[in-house]
Every structure is written in C-alpha cells, then in structure tokens.
Amino acid sequence: MKDLLTLVQEYAVASANAERHHAIADLATDERQNAAAVKAAEWEGVAVNRYGHILAVLDTRNRATLHAVPDERLPVCTWQKGTVEARGILTDPTRSVRLRYSPAQALAAGSALIACAALADHHTGGTLTPILPPFPTTTPTPATTPEANQP
C-alpha cells in the first residue's frame, strides 16, 4: 500500500508542477516561455508515467479472487427495497462480502443454486434425499384424477 501512496503523491506533484509551468509559459515571453513549456512537458511525462504505474499496481492488487463462505447468521436478506442481498464472510474473517440482486436476478440465482445443489448431492451420495423427496415417478391416469370422477 505504501508503494501505491508514494506513486499517487509523485503523480500529484508532477501534475501540479506541469500546471505551474504551463501557467508560467502563458505569462512569460520569449526565452522564459520556451523554457517553461519544456519544463511543463517534462513534468507531464512524469505524470503520465506515474499514472501508468498506479494503474498497473491497482490492476495487480485487484486481480486476486476473494474466497468467501456464507454468513451463518444472515446469509440472505432484503435490507433495501427491491434488492435481495446474499452475504458472505471471507475465509480469514477480515471482512464481509455482499452480492446485491434485483428480484429477477435473485430468482434466477436461487433456481441455479437449487439445480446445482441437486446435482452435487447426487454425485456425493444423496444426503438431501431425506429432506427433499423426489418428484412422483408416475403420471396420474385419467381414472385417478379428480376431473375423471365428476358426473
């Protein structure tokens, strides 16, 4: 983090110096104008260089994948109107992670979670079978439907 702050400070100084030399060049005449314009260009080059370094540092620091587990106390909630929030905690409990869904997104994500849970459960021995009974394996015949018994 210290490297990033140093780069930001160097960028700010270079940008300020470039602006200062541009202002001097605007007010000066002849030789001083050319010298100030050259200095302004030099400082702009430093600022562009530092800005590139800042972006590179941010890019490398933000690439890491966060690994979180569901929040045991409140894994899903609706704190804000029209928003469903899935909550988790990083595996090293340093901070929480939140995913905010619209109602339609939450429904799609929930359906996908149920489908994936069923597949994963099937491949790991079927621990959910006592909790979630299977769908009926036979379809009702006309004689067993309530409509068939109507006069």
Global pTM value: 0.44
What's residue 14's pLDDT?
Answer: 94
Domain for residue 67, yes or no? no
pLDDT tens string 49-82: 999 999 888 888 776 777 889 888 888 998 788 8
Cα dihedral across residues 76, 113, 61, 55: positive or negative = negative
User: At CB < 8 A and 24+ separation, what contacts does 129-134 make?
Assistant: none
Number of residues that make up the chain:
151
What's residue 129's pLDDT?
Answer: 67
The number of distinct structural domains making up the chain is 3
Whole domain around residue 52: which residue ranges?
Answer: 2-61
Domain for residue 50, yes or no? yes
What's residue 135's pLDDT?
Answer: 63
Domain for residue 42, yes or no? yes
What's residue 100's pLDDT?
Answer: 92
Could you say which residues of the chain have pLDDT below 70?
Answer: 1, 63, 129-130, 132-151
